[in-house]
Amino acid sequence: MALKAAFISEAPQLGVVKFQSGNSKVVVNLRFEIEKCRKWELCCRLGGLAQRGTTPVGDDKKPTVAGGAESSSVSIDGVQENESKGFLSLLPKPLSATDLSSSPNDGSNVRVAYQGLPGAYSEEAALKAYPNCETVPCDEFEAAFKAVELWIVDKAVLPIENSVGGSIHRNYDLLLRHRLHIVGEVQLQVNHCLLGLPGVRKEELKRVVSHPQAFGQCDKILTKLDVIRVGSPDTAGAAKDVSSKGVRDTGAIASARAAKLYGLDVLAERIQDDEENITRFLILAREPIIAGTDRLYKTSIVFSLEEGPGVLFKALAVFSLRNINLAKIESRPLKQRPLRIVDDSNEGSAKYFDYLFYIDFEASMAEPRAQFALGHLQVSPSYLMDNVLQ
């Protein structure tokens, strides 16, 4: 079988309405080697969950207290529970479906890494996903990945695409270099402000510092002001710079929160070209969460294709044949083999890039149609799925 490995993650799907209302969702994901038998691996994971103790529901399946032979007969509700409260409090708490679910909680006791300084939009996204979490700033995206891998933090929240600027390719590439799982996503309305030192007017600005994505999102006002754009690793860092350097003709594009944190004036609000300026962030974790059929899920895969007419069309057909909607398609050059010489003699002028295709589809891996779709993708003779995890 040509398929060697793939990166797969699943997430409860966020409907458009939920995105707009700003709900963040926790998602399920899976990452596994497909080389031998993907279905076996899936069964194993799902079976494992049941064994670890999802709370059975229904009258005939009352949860039991773990930890001892007698305790297994103790019901957690009703008279028996009241009578034996003292005894129960000494026993380990039984696992419940809530304990096992990766649904976003309020984030207490959760440490979340993000790229940038306090006041960055990424920090806002982390707080939207986990309102009471401890946010941990990182100087670059890769540091946030490593912070999760090294158990310094529990999660990372990283931007993956913006409604104006498009995909954040660096994070697509990093997803393959690191063994983290996508466990959720959060969408953030990004309202940019033009900031300056106290008392400065926007017409006095000659330079504006910000993140390149922010420049792309605020092109109109910057062109109108005719200022020099100076790049910065994140918007909050730009605000901090302006504040610490104290140069009156230099402003920053950043959040209103960054203005407060770094003592700057807001010279103009909502300066983005497109009023609906939304950035989608991925929530990454060390462990996947298990896909179910309890709600809508999104699954992410990445693969490469052998070159040939219609191969991508055929690959995508495995989803449309099963009425599975695709939420996002992204392609990235496959860097190990960036050029392909078509002509054996090496004289041919045609050279092709090989690509990795990232696809988000709206189905759960617990659904047979998703399993069949990936099975179909896997056995199709026209595909070469490279070992993208290496």
For the CB of residue 329, give the shortest distance to ligand PRE in the complex, in Å: 20
Q: What angle is formed at CA 98 by the lines to CA 58 and CA 288, rounded to 5 degrees?
A: 120
Q: Which of residues 154-193 bind ligand PRE (CB under 6 A)?
A: 159, 162, 168, 190
Which among 357, 339, 336 is positioned nearest to 348, based on CA atoms? 339
Q: Which CB sits closer to ligand PRE, 122 or 299? A: 122
DSSP-assigned letters across all residues of 36-63: S-HHHHHHHHHHHHHHHTPPP-STT---
The identity of residue 309, as a single letter, is P
Which residue in 157, 195, 236, 318 binds ligand PRE (CB under 6 A)? 236
Site string for ligand PRE, 274-313 (x = CB under 6 A): -----x----------------------------------
Q: What share of the chain is helix, strand, coil (3-state, %, to 5)?
A: 30, 25, 45
Q: Which CB sits closer to ligand PRE, 102 or 187? A: 187
Q: Could you say whether residue 121 binds ligand PRE (CB under 6 A)?
A: yes
Those residues whose C-beta lies under 8 Å from the C-beta of residue 22, and which sit 6 or more positions away, are 128, 187, 188, 189
Q: Could you say whether residue 235 binds ligand PRE (CB under 6 A)?
A: yes
Q: Could you say whether residue 120 binds ligand PRE (CB under 6 A)?
A: yes
Site string for ligand PRE, 201-230 (x = CB under 6 A): ----------x-xx----------------
State the Cα–Cα distance between residues 214 and 82, nearest whole angstrom. Answer: 58
Those residues whose C-beta lies under 8 Å from the C-beta of residue 370, and which sit 6 or more positions away, are 299, 322, 324, 361, 363, 364
**Count of residues touching ligand PRE (by CB under 6 A):** 15
For the CB of residue 235, give the shortest distance to ligand PRE in the complex, in Å: 4
Q: Which CB sits closer to ligand PRE, 74 or 214? A: 214
DSSP secondary structure letter of residue 115: E
CB count in 10 Å sphere of residue 318: 19
Which among 374, 337, 380, 334 is positioned nearest to 357, based on CA atoms? 334
Tokens 């990795």 sit on residue: 356
For the CB of residue 279, give the shortest distance to ligand PRE in the complex, in Å: 4
Q: 230: exposed, middle or buried (C-beta count within 10 Å: 0-12, 13-18, 19+)?
A: middle
Q: Which CB sits closer to ligand PRE, 24 or 122? A: 122
Tokens 């063994």 sit on residue: 179
For the CB of residue 160, give the shortest distance to ligand PRE in the complex, in Å: 9
Phi and psi of 379, rounded to 5°? -90, -10
For the CB of residue 274, give the shortest distance to ligand PRE in the complex, in Å: 12
Q: Which CB sits closer to ligand PRE, 29 or 189? A: 189
Q: How many CA atoms lie within 13 A of 225 on its CB side?
A: 26
Q: Which residues are catalytic?
A: 279, 281
Q: Which of residues 71-90 bind ligand PRE (CB under 6 A)?
A: none
Which residue in 10, 185, 234, 362 binds ligand PRE (CB under 6 A)? 234
Q: Which of residues 307-366 bind ligand PRE (CB under 6 A)?
A: none
For the CB of residue 165, give the shortest distance to ligand PRE in the complex, in Å: 7
Q: Give me the residues that bind ligand PRE (CB under 6 A), please.
A: 116, 120-122, 159, 162, 168, 190, 211, 213-214, 234-236, 279
